[in-house]
Amino acid sequence: MPVPWATAAQSEKPTPISGYTGSEMAFATLRKWIDTCDRKHACRPQSSSLLPARVLCIRDTGRIFLHCTKPGETGSYACLSHCWGAYQPLRTTTANIASHQSAIHEDALPPVFLQAISVAARLHIPYLWIDSLCIIQDSESDWQMQSALMVDIYANSIITISAALATCDLDALFVRSPQYNQFIPLEAGASLGISARATLKHGTGTSLPLLSRAWVLQERLLSPRVVHFTWEELIWECMEQTTCECGCIRSLWSPNFVPFDKNLLFDKILRHDSKMESKERWYRLVEEYSRLQLTLDRDRLPAISGAARRLSEFTGYTYLAGLWKETLISDLLWERKSRFAIRQLDLIPSWSWAKLGCEVEFDRSMSMQELATVITASCDSSGHDAFGEVTGGRIQLSTVVQPPSAVIAGAKTNDENASFQIASDNYSDKDTGSLCARMAIRRQVYATESDDEDISSGI
Ligand SMILES: [Zn+2]
Ligand SMILES: [Zn+2]
């Protein structure tokens, strides 16, 4: 009798899956992955590291509470990566923080939180960090402070628990796979048959809502190890290995699960980067990030601030609203990729890709020759975080130009607000000179027309 699913190639060697991501079989596999990472990988985190300012303490049996740590206090903790959804059933605020420090009753915890606590407990991890409980949600200053520490919070965790299938905290972390172990009788009504399961899809398409969220990209990249709870099985990602219960995630059936490298921000690789490699690393990160979704437009820069901060620790570069001063000329050559409507943010400079809120890509043309030099470049931060929200920015470039009349024909310009210093100079390549002039003049137009709908490029 024909099997309705594609059979696995012998070389893929699919292995049995647990069928329930909260089962002891699934956790035995998870412990095996952790053990392998502990013993064999460079990504192995320290067994004890500096604790975040607040963590959920789950060590005491039967009592869960918010633990405010002392300066320098160490321990091991897990992080939760989750979709907030439109409604958050439980948050820490200035009104309830004292009560949360005393105890948080299980009845008040939504399923995703409760099951994440269960994961940490079963892995003997005493603390759990959940952003909506460990950051005071109605305190702008606490949010700014903790947001700036996000790199260390995720990087120092033992593991990040990814509620990949949940659209909000009221969904579940553990599910039974509908595809698991279906019985196919050899003939109608026969008790003799074969057990089979469908080829797993590994989160392709929209089946894992969490992975489409922009905030989650840096959480996933900064965490040394992530376990995704999906519809079908557990999926493991660390800096050196991506695997899953069925063992086929790297197969030709699931080419889309890891569109970027998990180790894109791995410190042991970053420290050996050349200038060109750092630049390419950032471009890949921004391109991936720009495809993801944000609930709040104002989070466009904050949601990638941890990744930017991590990169700057190794390059020493100056951050400029999603671009870098040291590679500014080529960074400006981003281009709008998607045709979807854009939502411009007034306070973000027009030369930043973050202005538009749509998918972008960078020009990596090997033949490109930089003909402009940076005179000055700076941004104004809205808070204390140079990698977070901005309230404005300016760049001044020096470059060659064609006679302006040849370049600005048909374009609306406003000389009073010219943002660029353009130096006429001898140049041999007329076409390239024209490109640089267009770059300057188009930027000038965009900078002076806030309602211009035609912003579509970094040049
Ligand atoms: Zn590892
Ligand atoms: Zn699999």
Residue 330 · residue 279 · CB < 8 Å: yes
pLDDT recorded at residue 261: 78
Cα of 38 to ligand 1 centre, how many Å? 7
**Tens-place pLDDT, residues 32-60:** 999 999 999 998 888 889 999 999 999 76
Instruction: Give residue 82's identity as a one-letter amino acid code.
Output: H
Distance 409 CA to ligand 2 centre (A): 58
Q: What count of other Cβ atoms lies within 10 Å of the Cβ of residue 64? A: 23
The verdict on pTM exceeding 0.85 is no
Q: Backbone phi, then psi, for 209, in 5-degree steps?
A: -55, -35
> What distance in angstroms lies between residue 199's CA and the mean position of ligand 2's atoms?
8
* Distance from C-alpha of 78 to C-alpha of 134, rounded to nearest angstrom: 13
- Burial status of residue 52 (CB atoms within 10 A of its CB: 0-12, 13-18, 19 or more): buried
Output the pLDDT for position 125: 95
Distance 391 CA to ligand 1 centre (A): 40
Please compute the mean of the pLDDT values over residues 100-125 and round it to a whole number.
95
Q: Cβ neighbours of residue 290 under 8 Å, at least 6 residues apart?
A: 337, 353, 358, 359, 360
Whole-number pLDDT of residue 346: 82
- Residue 396 CA, ligand 2 centroid: distance in Å: 51
Examine the pLDDT at 439 and tell me if it is beyond 80. Answer: no
Judge whether 299 and 143 are in contact, CB under 8 Å.
Answer: no
Indicate the range of 5-14, 264-273, 425-434 predicted with least confidence.
Answer: 425-434
pLDDT per residue over 363-415, tens digit each?
887 777 788 889 999 999 887 789 999 999 999 988 776 555 444 444 444 44
Confidence of residue 2 (pLDDT cuts 50, 70, 90): very low
At residue 50, what are phi and psi to the nearest 5 degrees? -60, 130
CB 150 within 8 A of CB 306: yes
Q: Which long-range contacts (CB under 8 A, 24 or more apart) does 374-380 make?
A: 374/325, 374/328, 374/329, 375/421, 377/318, 377/320, 377/325, 377/328, 378/320, 379/319, 379/320, 379/321, 379/349
User: Comparing 135-139, 194-198, 314-318, which segment has the lowest mean pLDDT?
Assistant: 194-198
Tokens 């939502």 — which residue? 343
Residues near ligand 1 ion, CB 5 Å cutoff: 37, 41, 43, 238, 240
- Tell how far the Cα of 33 is from the centroid of ligand 1, in angstroms: 8
Q: Taking the mean position of all CA atoms in its chain, how far away is CA 140?
A: 22
- Average pLDDT of the chain is 81
Q: State the pLDDT at residue 295.
A: 87
> In this model, does residue 438 exceed pLDDT 80?
no
Better pLDDT: 144 or 422: 144
CA of 193 to the centre of ligand 1 (A): 40
From 376, 377, 397, 379, select the one nearest 439 (Cα to Cα). 397
Give mean pLDDT, residues 134-144. 92
Residue type, 195: S
Residue 69, classified by CB atoms within 10 Å of its CB into exposed (0-12), middle (13-18) or buried (19+), is middle
pLDDT confidence of residue 417: 39
Distance (Å) from CA 44 to ligand 1 centroid: 6
By the CB criterion, residues less than 5 angstroms from ion ligand 2 are 200, 244, 246, 249
pLDDT tens profile 88-108: 889 999 999 999 999 999 999
pLDDT greater than 50 at residue 9: no
Residue type at position 366: M
Average pLDDT for 233-256: 80
Categorize the per-residue pLDDT at 192 as very low, low, confident or very high, splitting at 50, 70 and 90.
confident
Ligand nearest to the CA of 44: 1
CA 432 to chain centroid, in Å, comes to 36
Q: Does residue 434 register a pLDDT over 70?
A: no
Q: How far apart are CA 29 and CA 223, in angstroms?
A: 20
Dig out the tokens for 306 from the structure: 């941890």
Residues 95/169, Cβ–Cβ less than 8 Å: no
**% of the chain residues with pLDDT over 90:** 49
Is residue 185 within a helix (H) or strand (E), and if so which, with residue range? strand 182-185
pLDDT of amino acid 124: 94
What number is the average pLDDT over the span 421-429? 33
Here the tokens at position 174 are: 């553990």
Higher pLDDT, 88 or 307: 307
The average pLDDT across 324-331 equals 93
